[in-house]
Structure 1
Amino acid sequence: MVKVGLVDDSIYDLEKLNISLSSEEDISIVFSTSDSEEAYQNIKKGQIDLLITDIEMPKLSGYELADLINSYALDIDVIFVTGFSGYAVHAFELNVLDYIMKPYSKERLLKGIRRRVQKNKLASDTKKLVIKTKTDIHFIDKKDIIFIERTGRSTTIVTVDDEYTVYTPLAELEEELSKKNFVRSHRGFIINIHFVKNFSLYTKKSYLVSFQNTKRTAMVTRANLERIQKEYF
């Protein structure tokens, strides 16, 4: 089941989204609103898998909502549905799942949503993560990954046996990992919940994460910790 949030300042276009998706058995519409600030409040709750949003809207734009998702490191994909083609390059810099031009068919919309389903299926079906360092290619058991940290332009993958430094962005690695085990806890971290030992208050809005099998720590935002506790513990 894909849990979806819908936002479009055009009542007509919002109603079209609702009609297109409400009859699909594997899609659940969590919220539907023409007010982008209301969408903002709903997004922060972390209760959706996918946000389908217009780009040009009063108050907050679709870009700003996508930035919010990145800032809170929420596990939410974004599909932009817009009448303007000029935003496409910037949109994909935000690593959006799809960019759909109005007017569109129901089939075109569902094609974009299926990408989310397929991405999750591939991540859970593949047991090995293939990474390339400067000199080698490694095949890592995903179940052995404790956490992943992004620092500057480099990414460190900490496993039960070793550490690997690569230049792959977190968003790309996140697509390869099962959402059943791995959580984007912070904009700079992905953690394996099965290795979590405890959370310690660090600042008003973040916690340190301690793990089994390593003395290294990661970070989790307060909002994501609440979501993790609700969904996994």
Structure 2
Amino acid sequence: MMKVGIVDDRLIDLDKLRFILEEEEDVELVFATTSPEEAYKEIQKNKIDLLIADIEMPGISGYELADFIQTHGLLITVIFVTAKSGYAVHAFELNVHDYILKPYTKERLQRALSRYREKHHAGNVTGRLILKQKGHIEMIPKKDIIFAERTGRSTTIFTVDQVYETYLTMNELEGTLRENHFIRSHRSFIINLHYAKSFSIYTKKSYSVSFEGTKKTAMLTKEKMDYLQKYYF
């Protein structure tokens, strides 16, 4: 069961969230409030798995709630639902799971919940990447792959516990990693969104991506960021 708390200072927006969530069979709505102060008290109890919050609220903002969760290492995932479009990059600095712009459809919120379920039930990610190396074959669980980088004539695959070298091209690797959480973020990179931790502006046309599980970084083009904001965040 997914334990969820929601906070939005506009009652009409809060009721919309409540209505959609009540249709989800695996969702237990622990609290629904227009008061960010009340949400803050509930978060301190740490009895929810997911917080869905507006960003701009009087008193305590959604950012402050997310910052408290991150700073104190609480096992609570955050989804922002906001009318403001200029906060997405900063949201990733707080490791926010999703960023939804108002007005949104029921399907858009359901898609965010589906991605949450996928991320927190990694056992559902099945399949292995088979690398035929000289004299032996490596079988890598796809769920363990953080990202892949093409340098020169070879490709480096970074996983949660090991690094692999292969002569597979990015096109060949992309054809194998067809799961929707893998994306070709750049001509030289394929990333696993499950491990993405933050996106930072690198140049006018690109972002640097940091991950959970490695200090290595990848690149993301502005076009791909626009795509992620439209279909994922």
Q: TM-score range by the shorter chain?
A: 0.5 to 0.7
* TM-score (norm: length of structure 1): 0.56
- Counterpart CA distance in 2 for 1:139 and 1:77 is 21
What are the equivalent positions in structure 2 for 1:30-45 lying under 5 Å apart? 30-45=30-45
Q: Are the structure 2 counterparts of residues 139 and 37 from structure 1 closer, same or farther at C-alpha, using a change threshold of 3 Å?
A: closer
Residues 83-232 of structure 1 correspond to what in structure 2 (within 5 A)?
83-122=83-122, 129=144, 140=161, 172-173=212-213
* SS of residue in 2 equivalent to 1:95: coil
Q: State the 1:124 CA deviation.
A: 6.8
Q: Which consecutive unaligned segments of at least 5 residues does structure 1 have?
A: 142-167, 175-233
- The answer to whether the 8 A contact 1:79-1:100 is kept is yes
State the aligned residue count: 146
Q: Deviations over 1:26-75 (max 9, x none)?
A: 11111000000100010111111110000000110000000010111011
Structure 2: unaligned runs, 5 residues or longer: 127-140, 148-155, 163-195, 198-209, 215-233
Q: Which residue of 2 aligns with 1:51?
A: 51
User: What root-mean-square deviation, in Å, do the aligned CA atoms of Structure 1 and Structure 2 show?
Assistant: 2.8
Distance 2:10 2:157 in 1: 52
Residue identity opposite 2:29 in structure 1 = I
Per the TM alignment, residue 130 of structure 1 is displaced from its structure 2 partner at its CA by 5.7
8 Å contact from structure 1 (residues 7, 54) kept in 2? yes
What residue identity is the alignment partner of 2:119?
A: K
CA contact (8 A) 2:160 2:213 kept: no
C-alpha change, 1:129 and 1:54, in structure 2 (3 Å) is same
In structure 1, the residue corresponding to 2:89 is in which secondary structure? helix
What residue number does 1:226 align with? Answer: none
Conserved 8 A contact 2:77-2:96: yes
1:67 alignment partner, SS class: helix
Alpha-carbon deviations, 1:97-156, whole Å to 9, x = none?
110010111110011111110012225757785689xx9967749xxxxxxxxxxxxxxx
- Any idea what SS the aligned residue of 1:85 has? coil
Q: How many Å separate the matches in 1 of 2:73 and 2:123?
A: 19
Q: Which residue of 2 aligns with 1:77?
A: 77
Please tell me whether the aligned partners of residues 4 and 48 of structure 2 are also in contact (alpha carbons under 8 angstroms): yes
**Letter aligned with residue 70 of structure 2:** N
The alpha carbon displacement at 1:173 in A equals 3.5
| 4+ long deviations beyond 4 Å | 123-132, 135-141, 168-171
Residue 64 of structure 2: SS of its match in structure 1?
helix
| Alignment CA distance shift 1:130-1:66 (3 Å) | same
1:81-109 superposed Cα distances (whole Å, 9 cap, x missing partner): 00010111111221111100101111100
Say if 1:130 and 1:140, in contact at 8 Å, map to a contact too: no
Contact 2:118–2:124 (CA under 8 A) maintained in structure 1: no
| Aligned partner letter, 1:57 | M
